[in-house]
């Protein structure tokens, strides 16, 4: 490819749109005559293999996305000059250029907030959730019709259950929340970035240039916005992720004048797919079994659940079979040795199951923070510490979904008749922070 030539002999470069440290972005003409955007990763400018990984991740993510406010994937091309991503060309103005001329009006800011929350709701409800990680005015395009598009998915992250520990730090100073600075971006991290972006657009001042009080941007003295927008921005900028709206849908309700729905309260609804398909977990009609009641306890406001172990009905059945075989041997042979042997075998079976078994425990506090652990008599086997986002009750399982995008079967070792009760009691605790009276 020569300067303003072609890419792969098919995409005719028309003009340069921007330049970064590792390549350029061009407007180009596709073989069918359509105008497209071509983003280049120059191999000789790539700083390390991570740059190539992020570029390939952007390509893979855009292939799967389908939203009017996200550029559509067109093609991916490799040449001697680099790696090229061809995508839909979004015609309009980047908001960093718009705000350079002065703050946006209240109406336009409100429209921008609605448009971006719609995009984030789409991204965050995908399976697995997609986190943009670099929301800022430069990555938002205002079209001629006043609608907005979110571009540059070069820092995108998909949260999957196997993600452990932190990830590469991606983002822009002033728009990144603290958890993203240590590589732990979650859905609420994008909401924080949106809040910081709205501050910049509404005040005309970069968030990094505004004062902070107790780690929170102090912006309200620099702009007079509507009550709904002011409330929303203030909540989006909370330093702790759990103090922000739990979802983009919750943020939209706040913008419309509704109250904040804390993350722990929203978990009282079992969700399947998109947020609009919501059903509450109903109280089981049968009386709560004593076995279920013994699983639950409260200490200092924290709900604790003993979820069970791998020592279950199958182990007890094995013991009974061993004893029965011994009893039959005694009956037919007239000797107690067979019965004694069966009993000894049963005892050894139970001991080995107890010593080698794994026990599950689960505890959750009023903030929605939970700890799940699996341990043997000798050591901790596995532990998970996260914030509960929602519950999903199916015919066979109760799933807890957390702020890392993980979905875990909480009742894998419980009996089928116990699952609805465990789900309902956990839901009630999420609603009012108390342990339901189970005797009624």
Mean pLDDT of successive 10-residue stretches along the chain, which has 440 residues: 76 89 87 95 74 85 92 93 92 96 95 96 87 94 95 70 47 91 90 97 96 93 90 94 91 76 37 35 79 84 77 50 58 54 55 57 82 71 77 75 76 77 82 65
| C-alpha to C-alpha distance for 196 and 113, rounded to whole angstroms | 11
**Given the residues 134, 152, 250, 403, the one annotated as active site:** 134
Residue 270, phi then psi, degrees to nearest 5: -85, 125
> Element (H or E) spanning 123, and its range?
helix 106-124
| C-alpha to C-alpha distance for 322 and 348, rounded to whole angstroms | 11
CA angle 215, 191, 211 (to 5 degrees): 25
User: Which residues on neighbouring strands pair with residue 150, listed in sequence order?
Assistant: 140
- What is the DSSP code (8-state) at residue 113? H
| C-alpha to C-alpha distance for 156 and 131, rounded to whole angstroms | 6
pLDDT at 410: 80
| C-alpha to C-alpha distance for 118 and 126, rounded to whole angstroms | 13
Sign of CA dihedral 392, 397, 401, 404: negative
DSSP 149-162: EE---TT-EE--TT
Q: Under a CB-based contact definition with an 8 Å cutoff, are residues 135 and 193 in contact?
A: yes
| C-alpha to C-alpha distance for 180 and 177, rounded to whole angstroms | 6
Based on the residue annotation, tell me whether 403 is a catalytic residue of this protein. Answer: no
Pair type for strands 407-409 and 398-402: antiparallel
- What is the DSSP code (8-state) at residue 170? -
Instruction: Judge if the upstream peptide bond of residue 254 is cis by omega within 30 degrees of 0.
Output: no
pLDDT at 338: 53
pLDDT at 105: 94
pLDDT at 4: 76
Q: Under a CB-based contact definition with an 8 Å cutoff, are residues 362 and 307 in contact?
A: yes
| C-alpha to C-alpha distance for 188 and 179, rounded to whole angstroms | 10
Closest C-alpha to 201, from 174, 179, 227:
174
pLDDT at 164: 35
pLDDT at 272: 28
């Amino acid at each position: 490819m020569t300067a303003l030539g072609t890419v792969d002999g098919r995409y005719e470069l028309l003009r340069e749109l921007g330049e970064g440290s590792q390549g350029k972005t061009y407007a180009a003409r596709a073989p069918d005559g359509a105008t497209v955007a071509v983003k280049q990763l120059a191999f000789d400018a790539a700083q390390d293999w991570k740059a190539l990984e992020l570029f390939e991740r952007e390509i893979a993510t855009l292939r799967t996305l389908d939203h009017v406010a996200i550029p559509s994937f067109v093609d991916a091309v490799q040449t001697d000059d680099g790696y090229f991503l061809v995508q839909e060309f979004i015609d309009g103005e980047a908001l960093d250029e718009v705000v350079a001329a002065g703050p946006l009006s209240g109406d336009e800011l409100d429209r921008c907030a609605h448009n971006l929350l719609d995009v984030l709701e789409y991204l965050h409800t995908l399976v697995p959730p997609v986190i943009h990680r670099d929301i800022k005015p430069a990555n938002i395009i205002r079209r001629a019709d006043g609608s907005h598009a979110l571009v540059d998915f070069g820092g995108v992250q998909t949260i999957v259950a196997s993600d452990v520990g932190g990830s590469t730090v991606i983002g822009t100073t002033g728009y990144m929340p603290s958890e993203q600075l240590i590589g732990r971006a979650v859905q609420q991290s994008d909401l924080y970035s949106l809040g910081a972006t709205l501050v910049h657009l509404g005040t005309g001042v970069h968030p990094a240039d505004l004062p902070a009080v107790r780690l929170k941007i102090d912006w309200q003295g620099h702009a007079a916005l509507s009550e709904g927008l002011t409330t929303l921005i203030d909540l989006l900028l909370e330093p702790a992720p759990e103090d922000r709206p739990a979802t983009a849908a919750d943020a939209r309700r706040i913008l419309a004048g509704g109250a904040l729905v804390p993350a722990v309260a929203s978990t009282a609804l079992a969700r399947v797919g998109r947020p609009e398909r919501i059903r509450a977990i109903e109280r089981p009609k049968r009386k709560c079994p004593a076995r279920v009641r013994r699983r639950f306890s409260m200490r200092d406001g924290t709900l604790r659940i003993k979820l069970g172990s791998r020592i279950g009905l199958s182990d007890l059945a094995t013991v009974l079979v061993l004893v029965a075989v011994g009893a039959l041997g005694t009956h037919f042979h007239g000797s107690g040795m067979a019965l004694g042997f069966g009993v000894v075998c049963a005892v050894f079976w139970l001991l080995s199951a107890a010593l080698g078994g794994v026990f599950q425990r689960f505890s959750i506090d009023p903030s929605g923070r939970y700890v799940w652990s699996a341990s043997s008599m000798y050591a901790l086997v596995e532990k998970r510490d996260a914030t509960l986002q929602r519950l999903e009750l199916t015919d066979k399982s109760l799933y807890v979904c957390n702020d890392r995008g993980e979905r875990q079967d909480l009742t894998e070792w419980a009996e089928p008749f116990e699952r609805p009760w465990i789900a309902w009691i956990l839901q009630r605790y999420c609603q009012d922070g108390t342990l339901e009276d189970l005797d009624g």
